[in-house]
Amino acid sequence: MKERIATAIATPNIAFVKYWGNRDERLILPAGGSISMTLDRTFTTTTTVWFSDSLSADEIWLNGKKVGPQEAKRIVEHLDLMRRAGQCRLRAKVVSRNNFPTAAGLASSASGFAALTLACAKALGVRRSMTELSALARRGSGSACRSLFGGFVEWVRGERKDGSDSIAQQIAPASHWPGLVDIVAIASEGRKHISSRDAMRRTVETSRLFKQRMQMHPGMLKQVRNAIMQKNAELLFDSIMRESNSMHAVMKDSRPPIIYMSEVSRRIVDAVRAFNADAGGMKCGYTFDAGPNAHVITTRKNEAAVRRMLARVKGVKRVVSAGVGKGPAYAAKHLFKI
Ligand code: PMV
């Protein structure tokens, strides 16, 4: 029998228009669409999955350690989803490795569930399009569906109750705007205090501002889509800062408030503003996910100057640049021998 083993490599994505809140929590159907840029292989998750009748339970390893029960539960649920898609009942061994800090607002769940979905699909012979696989990846972690494609990606909200039209699709390939760069200013490598899934539920249930955010959301999606298609850097940088501020505002409006940005994050916001004011135009723009680390988007032309500016901010530990990525891939070499 052919061995059911496969390895996939995926990279994170940085959302320009954020996913924050579900219209259906079980199916992970978002309250609004989102748009992201997939990053290159500066940050990668590599995952090997092996399904075998010699295993009596699922076994999950992340960065050399067996994962704890909470994390294991989420991954086993995803394995179950993939087993159903592949009509297979075999247990699995999963070994996954990140080359960047886990759960620190660097979207490790996006690259993680993208790699897991693809490795399972290949190992189990699930023959579906990337768009169909994106609907499976979404169930592991919403933002993971966007990491199934390279370049610039939109996850559409969809209208149907069953979620079949809530899929990710590429709006432009990496080659469309190769000069764009995400400079990650790392303020903390610690884990986040509240998971994005729990936090966004709290926002949907308790924030009054959230409804207003959702009313403005289609306009923001259109603006960012246009900025990307026209390669209008000034419009893009201005839009992503407003959009990030809007998401963090509804987080703060939740009860009790959710605060992911730190003092260092706030200093970065000021430094970016001062940098643009000195330059006399929008040369870069920040965006923050569910963590204190900043993603400062700029063009290769201004990369060195923006890196210098960020490295000078008190509390910034490291500055790492990632370009636009081509999306996930399979690897012939597995992370363990069977
Ligand atoms: O995919 P999740 O459940 O980890 O949520 C991601 C949420 C944000 O990163 C804050 C926004 C986004 O669209 O990536």
- Checking phi first, is residue 189 left (phi over 0); if not, alpha (psi -120 to 50) or beta? alpha
Cα 271 from chain centroid? 25
Q: How confident is the model at residue 189 (pLDDT cuts 50, 70, 90)?
A: confident
pLDDT for the residue numbered 108: 77
- Say yes or no: CB of residue 288 within 6 Å of ligand 1: no
- Say yes or no: CB of residue 140 within 6 Å of ligand 1: no
Degrees, nearest 5: CA angle 289-290-296 = 25
Q: Which atom of ligand 1 is nearest to the CA of 109?
A: 4
Question: What spacing in Å lies between the alpha carbon of 19 and ligand 1's midpoint?
Answer: 6
Question: Could you give the count of Cα atoms lying within 13 Å of 262 in the half-sphere of its Cβ?
Answer: 19
pLDDT at 128 > cutoff 50 = yes
pLDDT for the residue numbered 101: 63
Tell me the pLDDT tens digit for each residue of 212-263: 999 999 999 999 999 999 999 999 999 999 999 999 999 999 999 999 999 9
Tell me the pLDDT tens digit for each residue of 136-166: 999 999 999 999 999 999 999 999 999 989 9
Q: Which whole number is the average pLDDT over 164-185?
A: 96
Q: Which of 289, 293, 297 to mutate to test the pocket of ligand 1 (most atoms within 8 A of CB)?
A: 289
Contact 110, 13 (CB under 8 A): yes
Degrees, nearest 5: CA angle 84-109-241 = 135
pLDDT at 195 > cutoff 50 = yes
In sequence order, the 6+-apart residues with CB closer than 8 A to the CB of 253 are 203, 206, 207, 208, 209, 210
- Say yes or no: CB of residue 152 within 6 Å of ligand 1: no
pLDDT for the residue numbered 103: 46
pLDDT at 77 > cutoff 50 = yes
In sequence order, the 6+-apart residues with CB closer than 8 A to the CB of 203 are 20, 21, 210, 250, 251, 253, 254, 258
Q: Which of 41-45, 131-135, 189-193, 283-287 has the lowest mean pLDDT?
A: 189-193
Tell me the pLDDT tens digit for each residue of 257-306: 999 999 999 999 999 999 999 999 999 999 999 999 999 999 999 999 99
- Say yes or no: CB of residue 239 within 6 Å of ligand 1: no
pTM for the full predicted model: 0.96
pLDDT for the residue numbered 3: 79
Three-state SS at 177: coil
Q: Which atom of ligand 1 is nearest to the CA of 17?
A: 13
Q: Which whole number is the average pLDDT over 166-192?
A: 92
Contact 213, 254 (CB under 8 A): no
pLDDT for the residue numbered 164: 87
pLDDT at 102 > cutoff 60 = no
Question: What spacing in Å lies between the alpha carbon of 318 and ligand 1's midpoint?
Answer: 22
Tell me the pLDDT tens digit for each residue of 38-63: 999 999 999 999 999 999 999 999 99
Q: What is the DSSP letter of 247?
A: H
Average pLDDT, the chain: 95
pLDDT for the residue numbered 65: 94
C-alpha 264/C-alpha 16 separation (Å) is: 21
